[in-house]
Amino acid sequence: MSASVIVGIDGSEPSRRAVDFALSLAESQGVGLVVAHVIPWSPYSFNTPTENEERGERKQQELRAATTQIIEPAVEVASGRACEVTPVVRHGDPVDTLVELAGDFSATAIVVGRTGDSRVKRALFGSIPGHLVHESTIPVTVVP
């Protein structure tokens, strides 16, 4: 598989700026762009038997909603640009999934927008960009 730049998006304004930056980076490197959205999903969450029965359908509904509401607008921004764009939506831990995608697509860089988490939440749990910088073996750019 040819090299790519991975951009992780969540539909926020910083992630829109991250798409613009990642497009320019991919074009300058002559590589493709993978536009990825990760829906946080814990296999360890407590569910009732009824919720477990509905879990598969709920995951499919979330994938469809993320594709139309988050991925397709980002891909539209990239239309007409000089790099191939690959859309990806997955469930999982955002940091682990973006690092895994970077390996799958032989990525040269990961680009994300700065999240809008509160200071208290960041202090308690950290931020996705912060964790990504620690976990990734390739350059990570955080776009404000």
Selected residue with higher pLDDT from 9 and 42: 9
Residues in the chain: 144
> Is residue 108's pLDDT more than 80?
yes
120 vs 64, which has greater pLDDT? 64
Confidence (pLDDT) at 114: 85
pTM: 0.86
Mean pLDDT of 63-69: 94
The single-letter DSSP state of residue 90 is E
pLDDT at 42: 66
Question: Which are the contacts of 121, defined by CB distance < 8 A and separation ≥ 6?
Answer: none
DSSP β-bridge partners for residue 143: 113
